[in-house]
């Protein structure tokens, strides 16, 4: 039996390698030569991992969050993760065990359970190798979302800023109905919109207030055209660079 086969688990072997790393470069080199994959795992666990840089993008339904995210991606290179798009894609996946459940929540303007949403966001972030900077659009939408984020992602991601796009209910409704003419979204109708807007005011506004206390919120009026709104967005993001 080789000296490496005496260990009962990979964890025991890693501990042994840790000792060798601290004790002898010669032993480390020999171990790496014989078991490169295991030593690579050890080194990866020892190396500090940079946190994800996150911008939360919030605002009422139809406030223009998606439009501004597209412009941010084009200019600043962030990866845009729309919680709504991720959920709709999961709903459309015939193999998903959560598809029908997600459909019910979206159609009724309710907030999908945080365990589902967080898992989709986390997977999307982990599968991105081009950058560690993310725009997360439409999340967190309530205290449960925020608590789930804090529990699962707080040690993995740092919230740099919260962009809150402000628009009246009447204007949000008009824009959502116009979008509904071509979007094909089942929630772009008057009944679903009204439920979603109530949810936003009752559940998401307190989350914005939470981040406001931490001086992380910039509220931007969505009344002007998209290009004018983006000028204000750029003022915020340029200060983060």
One domain for residues 22 and 88: no
Residues 6+ apart with CB under 8 A from 39: 17, 28, 31, 32
Three-class DSSP category at 58? strand
Instruction: Determine if residue 186 is labeled as part of a ligand binding site.
Output: no
One domain for residues 112 and 11: no
Query: What confidence category does residue 146 fall into, taking pLDDT thresholds of 50, 70 and 90?
Result: very high
Instruction: Determine if residue 224 is labeled as part of a ligand binding site.
Output: yes
Q: Give the lowest-confidence range in 40-44, 49-53, 109-113, 231-235.
A: 40-44
One domain for residues 118 and 206: yes
Q: Which residues pair with 80 in a beta bridge?
A: 135
One domain for residues 189 and 87: yes
Instruction: Determine if residue 23 is labeled as part of a ligand binding site.
Output: no
Tens digits of residue pLDDT in 175-210:
988 887 777 776 778 888 899 999 999 999 999 999
Entry pTM = 0.73
Instruction: Determine if residue 63 is labeled as part of a ligand binding site.
Output: yes
One domain for residues 8 and 120: no
Under 8 Å between Cβ of 220 and 165: yes
Q: In total, how many domains does the chain have? A: 2
Instruction: Determine if residue 145 is labeled as part of a ligand binding site.
Output: yes
Q: Which domain holds residue 194?
A: 52-238
pLDDT at residue number 47: 46
Query: What confidence category does residue 149 fall into, taking pLDDT thresholds of 50, 70 and 90?
Result: very high
Longest CA pairwise span in the chain (Å) = 76
One domain for residues 26 and 107: no
pLDDT beyond 70 at 40: no
Q: What whole-number distance in Å separates Cα of residue 213 and Cα of residue 91?
A: 35
The larger pLDDT score, comparing residue 205 to residue 38, is at 205
One domain for residues 139 and 230: yes
Q: Give the lowest-confidence range in 3-12, 159-168, 187-196.
A: 3-12
Which residue in 227, 228, 209, 142 sits closest to 219, CA to CA?
A: 209
Instruction: Determine if residue 164 is labeled as part of a ligand binding site.
Output: no
One domain for residues 112 and 167: yes
Instruction: Determine if residue 141 is labeled as part of a ligand binding site.
Output: yes
Three-class DSSP category at 32? helix
Mean pLDDT of 110-138: 93
Instruction: Determine if residue 139 is labeled as part of a ligand binding site.
Output: yes
One domain for residues 121 and 24: no
Instruction: Determine if residue 122 is labeled as part of a ligand binding site.
Output: no
Tens digits of residue pLDDT in 51-88:
999 999 999 999 999 999 999 999 999 999 999 899 99
Q: Give the lowest-confidence range in 2-11, 208-217, 229-238.
A: 2-11
One domain for residues 12 and 99: no
Instruction: Determine if residue 91 is labeled as part of a ligand binding site.
Output: no
One domain for residues 228 and 109: yes
One domain for residues 136 and 23: no
Residues 6+ apart with CB under 8 A from 238: none
Instruction: Determine if residue 219 is labeled as part of a ligand binding site.
Output: no
Instruction: Determine if residue 175 is labeled as part of a ligand binding site.
Output: no
Instruction: Determine if residue 160 is labeled as part of a ligand binding site.
Output: no
Angle at alpha carbon of residue 142, lines to 65 and 137, rounded to 5°: 20
In the chain, which ranges are continuous DSSP H helix? 10-23, 25-34, 36-46, 65-76, 83-92, 99-107, 114-126, 143-153, 169-183, 190-199, 205-213, 226-238
Residues 6+ apart with CB under 8 A from 29: none
Q: Give the lowest-confidence range in 28-42, 77-91, 114-128, 224-238.
A: 28-42
Instruction: Determine if residue 30 is labeled as part of a ligand binding site.
Output: no
Under 8 Å between Cβ of 62 and 84: no
């Amino acid at each position: 039996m080789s000296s490496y086969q005496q260990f009962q688990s990979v964890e025991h072997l890693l501990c042994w390698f840790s000792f060798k790393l601290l004790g002898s470069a010669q032993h480390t080199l020999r171990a790496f030569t014989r078991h490169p994959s295991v030593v690579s795992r050890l080194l990866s666990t020892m190396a500090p991992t940079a946190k994800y840089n996150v911008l939360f993008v919030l605002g009422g339904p139809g406030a223009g969050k998606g439009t501004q995210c597209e412009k941010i991606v084009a200019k600043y290179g962030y990866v845009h993760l729309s919680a709504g798009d991720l959920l709709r894609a999961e709903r459309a996946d015939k193999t998903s065990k959560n598809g029908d459940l997600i459909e019910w929540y979206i159609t009724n303007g309710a907030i999908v359970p945080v365990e589902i949403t967080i898992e989709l966001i986390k997977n999307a972030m982990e599968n991105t190798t081009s950058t560690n900077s993310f725009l997360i659009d439409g999340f967190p939408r309530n205290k449960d979302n925020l608590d789930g984020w804090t529990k699962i992602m707080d040690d993995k991601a740092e919230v740099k800023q919260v962009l809150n796009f402000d628009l009246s209910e009447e204007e949000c409704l008009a824009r959502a109905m116009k979008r509904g003419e071509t979007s094909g979204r089942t929630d772009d109708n008057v009944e679903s919109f009204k439920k979603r807007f109530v949810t936003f005011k009752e559940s998401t506004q307190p989350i914005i207030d939470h981040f406001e206390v931490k001086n992380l919120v910039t509220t931007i009026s969505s009344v002007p055209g998209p290009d004018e709104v983006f000028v204000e967005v750029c003022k915020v993001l340029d200060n983060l660079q």
